[in-house]
Structure formats: structure tokens, C-alpha cells
Structure 1
Amino acid sequence: MTEGTGPSDATQRRLLIVEDDTVFARTLARSFERRGYAVQVLAGPDQLDAVAAAFRPGFAVVDLRLAGASGLSCIETLHRVDADMRIVVLTGFASIATAVEAIKLGATNYLTKPANTDDIEAAFAKVEGDAEVDLTAAPTSIKTLEWEHIHQTLADSEFNISEAARRLGMHRRTLARKLDKRHMG
């Protein structure tokens, strides 16, 4: 699919939202419905195959961190259902590692929370990379490196906090406090 073209007419304005925060999901759904989208919401990966196959969305918004699950598996499932589906990942736990994995698995774009409907629609529209994007010369901070290491360990342990804490060599409560401080949405 190239810039300026979208999913086929049959799926053009169908949006699937996979988000476990019911208030945020409901708000997002209503906002997209006002823009002419047909919207379905799932709280997690349960029934994702069946709903995606029956609903045939052209667009999807997937939360990276779902209660008891990773949104990465949802991206993989949705991409398998329709390789042209435009999938935007939303997360309050952004890291380079998960952004790379999300794109490899078929996501179109990756946004940090808070993101609004305008941000998400702009991400749906931007399917091509931009070779002219400014490169920053600023080195990565120690805090950012620490966060990326923590997040990669969390992803590797399937977001099991106890297992991630063990792998990081820290107490589970210490890791939970760090995650609470870093939570953005």
C-alpha cells in the first residue's frame, strides 16, 4: 500500500480498538464514530481472531500493555488477518525495543500516550517513512537507557513483573514503583 491510498472500500472506515482501559476505549470509540468510523472494541486478545475475521477492520488501535497480555501478540494476529491493515500502537510504556518489534510485527505507527484522535488519524495516514526527518545528536540519557532495559526485560518476561524483577536483580516492589513513576497513560 502506498501513501495516499487506503485499505479496500469494504474495510475503509472500520476500526478495531484493543484497549483494556474501558473509559479511554469508550472515549476513543465515540470520537472515531463521530468521524464516520464503524468501531468495535476489545479489552484484550481473547476472541481477536474471530472478531477481526468477522468485522474486517481496515484500521486498528492497539494498546501495548494489556491486562495480562502484550499488545505485540495482537499486532501479529491483526497483521496475519490483513497485511494491509493500518495498525497504530498506543503506549504509556514506550521504548525503542517495543517500537521496533511492533513495526516488525506489522504496526504502521507507534504513539505514546496521551494521544488523541487527531494524532491517531495522522498516524494512520503516514505509512511511508521519512528519510528527511531530523536526526538528533543528543546522546541517550542514563535514565532513558535504564527505562529501555527495564522495558525490554518486561517484554522478554511477557510483562510478568515478578519475573522481570528477578531478571533485573531488583525487588519486585522496587520495579513496581519505577513502573508507576514512569506510567504516562
Structure 2
Amino acid sequence: MSETAQKIGPDKSLLLLDDDEAFLKRLARAMEKRGFEVRTAESVQDGLAAVREATPAYAVIDLRLGDGNGLDVVEQIRERREDTRIVVLTGYGAIATAVAAVKIGATDYLSKPADANQISAALLATGEDLPPPPENPMSADRVRWEHIQRIYEQCDRNVSETARRLNMHRRTLQRILAKRSPR
């Protein structure tokens, strides 16, 4: 039996909720190899149905889904089972959403792209132990670019409004938006 499988405990149930089908399938296979009993869902509605059917011991929930917010599923899990270890995943690593996720019951919060090793480490971390830092975290330029893109999308792709909210000159923002994303 692997070291990961020994840490999981008797209830190995894991719910994976993500609307990226390819990522979901890869992650499900990887987590099954680590000893979890995986159920998958691709929408908030499917996730809520899976929780009502059998509340898992572990959950990995994407924050932004096609039909709503993954935090709704986190709340439902927390109402039904206090000991579930929940990791929230998102492509938009913002402090405000991290705080909201933890306040309603998430155990940890990871930015995409996160691999199966990072996710299982976060799920199985005990006490005050922090999981090890990622091998290749996003660069500061990439984090800045992601933040600007998120605000730009939230402002319905309006450059002037985005520049105003970011307290940035409009021409500077246009130059940033015209460039490719940093690595």
C-alpha cells in the first residue's frame, strides 16, 4: 500500500467538480491511482446532486463553473459533513475569493494549473502543516496579467472602465492587453 493510500483513511470518497472535461478525466485517473474512490461532476447541479446522494470525505471543487459558482457546492458539503476536506481550485487566484472559500469551509485553495501531487498534498495536509510550495509557481508577471484579464472580462471587455478600476492609464492597459500572456 502506498504512503498516500495510508494517509487517506477508511473513507476514501472524493468528489471532483470541474467543467474542463479533459482536466477532470486526467485528475480522476491520477487520484484513483493514489487510492481515492472518485466521483466526478461537471456542473454545480451535478455536484449538488452527488453531495445529496453521498457526501464525500474529500472534495476538489472548481470555483467558476458554466452554471454557477463552486462555492455553492462547498456550502452544501459543509452543511452535510463537517469533516470533509475541501480544496477549491480556480484559474483566477484572487485573495478575496480565497478568503470567501476558506470562510465557508474550504480547507485549502489552489490556483490552476495545479497537478495531482499538489492537490493530494493539500487534501491530506494535517493540522497546521502547509503543503510544500509548488515546483513552478506562476510568475509575478503572469499573476498580474491574469488579474488584469479577469477585471477586463468583468468590465465586459471595456478598456476605459477596466483602466479606471485598475487606476491605470488607458493606453498602458491597451498595450498590456495587446501582448501575449507571460509565462
Same fold (TM over 0.5): yes
Distance 2:156 2:96 in 1: 15
For residues 56 and 120 of structure 1, do their structure 2 counterparts lie closer, same or farther at Cα, with a shift above 3 Å needed? same
Contact 2:59 2:87 (8 Å CA) reproduced: yes
Corresponding residue of 2:94: 95
Give runs of aligned pairs for residues 110-149 of structure 1, distance below 5 A. Answer: 110-129=109-128
Match of 1:169 in 2: 161
Q: Alignment identity in percent?
A: 32
Mind listing any 5+ residue stretches in structure 2 that lack a counterpart? Answer: 1-6, 131-139, 164-172
SS, match of residue 26 in structure 2: helix
Asked if the contact 2:8–2:36 (Cα under 8 Å) also holds between the matched residues in 1, the reply is no
How many angstroms does 1:7 deviate by? 8.3
List structure 1 segments (4+ residues) > 4 angstroms apart after TM superposition. 141-151, 161-166, 181-184
Per-residue deviation at 1:20?
Answer: 0.1
Looking at both structures, which has the greater relative contact order when contacts are Cα pairs under 8 Å and sequence separation is at least 6?
A: 1
Using the TM superposition, give the Cα deviation of residue 86 of structure 1 relative to its aligned residue in structure 2, in angstroms: 0.4
> Which residue does 2:45 correspond to in 1?
46
Cα 1:16–1:182 shift into 2, 3 Å: farther
1:84-128: CA deviation from partner (whole Å, max 9, x where unpaired): 110001111001000000000110001111111111111012243
2:15–2:40 contact (8 Å) kept in structure 1:
yes
What is the one-letter code of the residue matched to 1:46? Q
Inter-partner Cα distance in structure 2 for 1:119 and 1:144: 19
Structure 1, unpaired ranges of 5+: 1-5, 132-140, 155-160
Tell me if the contact between 1:18 and 1:44 (Cα under 8 Å) persists in the aligned partners. yes
